């Protein structure tokens, strides 16, 4: 009887481990929302930027994000704050000057994460994940792009390029799904 119970417990544990390995998780990468011009060295979000941050929260609040990463700048933290406040997920800082090390850390987490970056770092992050993407540059006036990397069994299996909030300037930012 004891051997049967132990066998059942062992099989249940093995099944749970296998299900966990099969599970998908997501890496959401965005540029911060619209920024003001003041203070010059570290501007805050504009009214439009704060509204976009709320749109991000609404889009991602049910996505089971377990980690939120942001640079230490006001604009990235403010973009992440509504989602973090709604979900109770802390915002962890990262530095652009150690981006490759940070990307390895994120990839090793095997959890769903949001990364809030800058126009000059989002594309670098996507390239560091070795994924194909249509958008190759983010101009200074462009906001609202959302890159969703789907990961299964430790590999990126799909990239979706979409938007959140108000459409980006001049209609750039079409919805594209890549496999």
6 found inside a domain: no
Per-residue pLDDT at 154: 86
Q: 3-state SS string over 31-99? A: ECCCECCCCCCCCCECHHHHHHHHHHHHHHCCCCCCEEEECCCHHHHHHHHHHHHHHCCCEEECCHHHH
Residue 122 contacts residue 116 (beta carbons within 8 Å):
no
Per-residue pLDDT at 18: 46
Q: Show the domain range for 139.
A: 24-178
**pLDDT, mean of each 10-residue run, the chain (179 residues):** 54 47 87 96 97 98 98 98 98 94 94 97 95 94 96 93 82 41
11 found inside a domain: no
| Residue in the block written with tokens 């889009």 | 59
Number of domains in the chain: 1
Residue 121 contacts residue 96 (beta carbons within 8 Å):
yes
Per-residue pLDDT at 1: 57
Closest CA to 26 of 105, 114, 89, 85: 114
Residue 116 contacts residue 89 (beta carbons within 8 Å):
no
Using CA atoms of 124, 162, 59, 179 in order, give the dihedral in degrees to the nearest 10. -80
139 found inside a domain: yes
CATH number for the domain including 137? Answer: 3.40.50.1240
Q: Collapse the DSSP code of 128 into the 3-class scheme (helix H, G, I; strand E, B; otherwise coil) and give the result.
A: helix
CA distances to 7, 9, 107, 132 from 125, rounded to whole Å, are: 45, 42, 11, 12
8 found inside a domain: no
Per-residue pLDDT at 171: 43
Per-residue pLDDT at 5: 54
Per-residue pLDDT at 3: 60
């Amino acid at each position: 009887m004891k051997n049967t119970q132990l066998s059942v417990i062992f099989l249940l544990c093995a099944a749970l481990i296998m299900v966990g390995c099969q599970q998908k998780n997501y890496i959401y990468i965005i540029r911060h929302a619209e920024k003001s011009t003041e203070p010059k060295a570290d501007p805050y979000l504009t009214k439009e930027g704060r509204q976009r941050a709320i749109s991000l929260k609404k889009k991602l609040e049910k996505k089971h994000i377990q980690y939120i990463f942001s640079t230490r700048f006001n604009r990235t933290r403010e973009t992440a704050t509504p989602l973090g406040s709604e979900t109770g997920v802390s915002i962890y800082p990262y530095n652009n000057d150690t981006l490759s090390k940070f990307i390895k850390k994120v990839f090793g987490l095997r959890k769903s994460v949001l990364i809030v970056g800058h126009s000059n770092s989002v594309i670098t992050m996507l390239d560091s994940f070795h994924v194909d993407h249509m958008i190759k540059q983010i101009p200074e006036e462009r906001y609202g792009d959302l890159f969703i990397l789907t990961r299964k069994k430790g590999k990126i299996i799909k990239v979706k390029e979409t938007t959140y909030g108000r459409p980006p300037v001049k209609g750039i930012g079409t919805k594209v799904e890549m496999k």
